[in-house]
Amino acid sequence: MVGQQLIFQLLDHPDFEKVRSFVRRPSGMTHPKLEEIIIDFDKTQTWKDLIQGDVLFSTLGTTIKKARTKENRYNVDFSYQFEFALFAFENKVPTYVLVSSLGADPKSRFFYTRMKGELEGAVSKLTFRKLIIFRPSFLDGERKEKRSGEKIMLAINYFITQFMLKKYKPTRVDLLVERMITTSLDQSMGIRIITSV
């Protein structure tokens, strides 16, 4: 969901003259600025040299329902993302923007937030000139697939966070992506962690 919205906004942004997207299957999108590369994430030798440019946005992720096991989910949410970051660093991409999660912590008791915390720690050691980590709350946006349970959770979340736990208020994906792009273009250097969007 974040990746799709990111592509839309990057293609419409005047400061980005080319957008290279790495995907597992064709998206069906076409645009003069878009180069879509279909890859097998496990065959790194076939795509690692293609990670070139001024900024790498990392929005890859899956659900336990799709992955079926924690091991498969870890492979997608940690291993694949770290490999992309590593190759970007080796190819001298100066800026890396990662979408993580609120509560990310390598010492967390919960698998998901622990995995996100481990990824943050791993990419932080790569010393990009500019590393931006976003920690959004529950994501609110249009998905290709319908998730009725998620809509119910969003409604409950919006209601509760009106009165308490405001940092857990759902994050609108369009606003998150807008902030990702704006921050990637500013003049700051070093590591930044952004928890409110």
Angle at CA 138, nearest 5°, toward 176 and 97? 35
Domain boundaries, the chain: 2-194
Number of Cβ within 10 Å of residue 3's Cβ equals: 19
Which among 179, 74, 93 has a CA at the least distance from the CA of 134? 179
Report the SS3 class of residue 191: strand
110 and 120 in contact (C-beta within 8 Å)?
no
Note the pLDDT tens digit of each residue in 79-125: 999 999 999 999 999 999 999 999 999 999 999 999 999 999 999 99
Give the Cα separation of 189 and 104 in Å (integer): 22
Tell the residue number behind the tokens 């040299």, with chain if given.
49
Number of neighbouring beta carbons within 10 Å of residue 149: 8
Residue % of the chain over a pLDDT of 90: 77
pTM, full prediction: 0.88
Are the C-beta atoms of residues 93 and 126 closer than 8 Å to each other?
A: no
Q: List the CATH code of the domain at 2-194.
A: 3.40.50.720
